[in-house]
Amino acid sequence: MGFLSGKHHLSLLAFLSFSLTLLVQASLNLDVSEIDALSLLTRDLGFNGQRDSPENPCNSAGIFCDRRISDNSPVLHVTQIVYKSQGFQGVLSPAIGRLSELQELSLPNNHLVDRIPPEIVDCRKLEVLNLRNNLFSGEIPSDLSSLVSLRLLDLSSNRFSGDLSFLKYFPNLENLSLADNLFTGKIPTSLRSFRNLRFLNLSGNHNLQGPVPSMNLEEFAVSGLATNSVLPKRYIFAENSTRNRGSAIAPLTSKASYTDPSEAPSPSTTPHKHHDNKRNLSGWILGFLAGAVAGSISGFIFSVLFKLFLICVRRGGKDSGPSIFSPMIKKAQDLAFLEKEEGLTSLEIIGQGGCGEVYKAELPGSNGKMIAIKKIIHPHIDAAELTGEDSKILTKKMKQIRSEIQTVGQIRHRNLLPLLAHVSRPDCHYLVYEFMKNGSLQDMLSQVSQGNRELDWLARHRIALGVAAGLEYLHMHHSPRIIHRDLKPANILLDNDMEARIADFGLAKAIPDANTHVTTSIVAGTLGYIAPEYHQTLKFTDKCDIFSFGVLLAVLVIGKLPSDEFFQNTDEMSLVKWLRNVMTSENPNRALDPKLVGNGFEHQMLLVLKIACFCTLDDPKQRPNSKDVGCMLSQVKH
């Protein structure tokens, strides 16, 4: 129990770092083909030959390697190359394409020249490409969009030219900066398909044309584009109208001066005075009648328009139609079947909970793309039982649901399940998601335990990293901060590439009666994943999510859910308490999933279990935050 009895945060981090260092320093060899590639790469970049020894490249500054399994034996591969502000004056070698496991290439603030070699598209796992502030030139390789794992692409402050046709499809791209180059042509509409893009900078490319496609961006800059020289129509109108008023003043003034006030009426005009008075009186009466008629007509028209406005407002409050958040759904008519009473009767039910069912359907007009539709039923309340105050509270709650769903619909992150659309009906809400054919992590683990599927340790570790990244975004990078409140394997979905997607984020607090896995309606979460302090305060914090994540980590390594009968037959009757005792015993390996034992990753799995124990400490102040958890997990090398 010494590991968990209150050791300080820093001491535990030091212990974990020491353990991780021992693993990294294992005597492994770099893949032979990558040794030659690194030699060519560093030579062409402009190394002076004295910086690092080529005999052990993975110990060189700026080169980072990870262990991979090849032919049932571990071998090192280059995963990161980071050389910032080194004064390099060479070129980027085509040998870069031979580093098949490369995930990051960062060479900013150097003096590198020439083109980006087309061989870079062979780095299929590349996630970060940062060539900012160099002297690169020429066109970007047209097949760059084949690097579908890219999250950051920064080519700013270079001399790149040509059009932006290489921006075809980057589904995971979050940060795109092409500022201060010589790009020409139109801004491609394909940017709309970059579902995770949050930051965009195209400024300083004075020959780019056309508008930036409408997207949900947190930050963008397009200053310096040719289109900015054209003022919006409203400003042109204001400018012209001012000129017109100025030119109209002169005629009015000249007309006024035509009648000289110094000219007195002559006596000869007095016989006509009575006649003029009659004429003035008849003109006044006619003017009054015309004004009255015009006023009546104007009042009638205004009254009709005002009533129409009220009708539109009332109808809009009752049913505002579907809210679409993704270009995957091209038009509202594609979801028209959800507005019919029998819209879901013929669909397959793939899940069911206390708030409603989850259906599987084919999106109309999408060439077979599948969607998942979650039905959230409004709580049934008899109108006769509602007081005036109750009715106001219920109306406020429904508006809160819509507001929070609107917020969630704008969130995009590679490890969060995006909300595609929301359809509101008088008795329920429909939430439309992309269908994940690999189901939930809970379903996957259940099939693994039954022997129907396999889920090796590397896949489990990748899932843990994905959940940690999604949680960090919700806790630290989104404003307002979102606390999940019900993090568990059933809410972790797996996409076609077995990438983790957190589902139901941001909704647990807003949706009435969504908390269905506990005995009382005022408690949020699922038994076995709820932090102990919540039972006392009934307040959910980000550290409560961290506790739930720690339990999820343990489930990934142990292969059993907290509700498993195994834990009911232990003295502790709790996964967390059982894990604490096992990890401080003489044989912590008995906590490992038997299906994973013998794979050569026992040390790494025990490290992850220690991180799980760290996340499930009783004192929430001693638990790490989501960023720390992601950092620790990323240091577990394989």
User: 């097949």: which residue's tokens?
Assistant: 143
In total, the chain counts a number of residues equal to 638
DSSP for 509-522?
TTSTT---SSSSTT
From the list 122, 180, 486, 504, the catalytic residue is 486
Give the up-direction half-sphere exposure of residue 46: CA atoms within 13 A in the CB hemisphere. Answer: 14
- Sequence-distant (6+) residues with CB within 8 A of 439 are 493, 494
Q: How far is CA 248 from CA 240, 255, 257, in A?
A: 12, 11, 15
486 has catalytic annotation: yes
In single-letter form, the type of residue at position 450 comes to Q
In single-letter form, the type of residue at position 199 comes to F
The enclosing H or E element of 175 equals strand 175-177
Q: For residues 284 and 172, what is the distance between their CA atoms, to the nearest angstrom?
A: 74
Count of CB atoms situated within 10 Å of the CB of 63: 20
Q: For residues 143 and 157, what is the distance between their CA atoms, to the nearest angstrom?
A: 22
CA 370 and chain centroid, separation = 21
Residue ranges with strand state E in 243-355: 323-324, 348-353
Q: For residues 590 and 462, what is the distance between their CA atoms, to the nearest angstrom?
A: 23
Pairing between strand 370-377 and 428-434? antiparallel
In single-letter form, the type of residue at position 67 comes to R
User: 């409408």: which residue's tokens?
Assistant: 214
Q: For residues 536 and 229, what is the distance between their CA atoms, to the nearest angstrom?
A: 61
Helices 542-558 and 441-449: angle between axes, nearest 10 degrees: 20
- Sequence-distant (6+) residues with CB within 8 A of 408 are 419, 505, 506, 507
Sheet (strand 356-362) strand order: 323-324, 419-425, 428-434, 370-377, 356-362, 348-353
- Residue 604: name the closest of 61, 67, 139, 49 by CA: 67
Q: How far is CA 504 from CA 416, 445, 636, in A?
A: 9, 20, 28
Contact 179, 204 (CB under 8 A): yes
Pairing between strand 199-201 and 348-353? unpaired
Q: What are phi and psi of 129, to 5 degrees?
A: -125, 105
- Residue 176: name the closest of 125, 122, 140 by CA: 140
Q: How far is CA 550 from CA 492, 506, 528, 589, in A?
A: 14, 20, 11, 18
Instruction: Outline where 259-372 has alpha helix (H).
Output: 273-318
Q: For residues 322 and 424, what is the distance between their CA atoms, to the nearest angstrom?
A: 7
Q: For residues 517 and 414, what is the distance between their CA atoms, to the nearest angstrom?
A: 28
Catalytic residues: 486
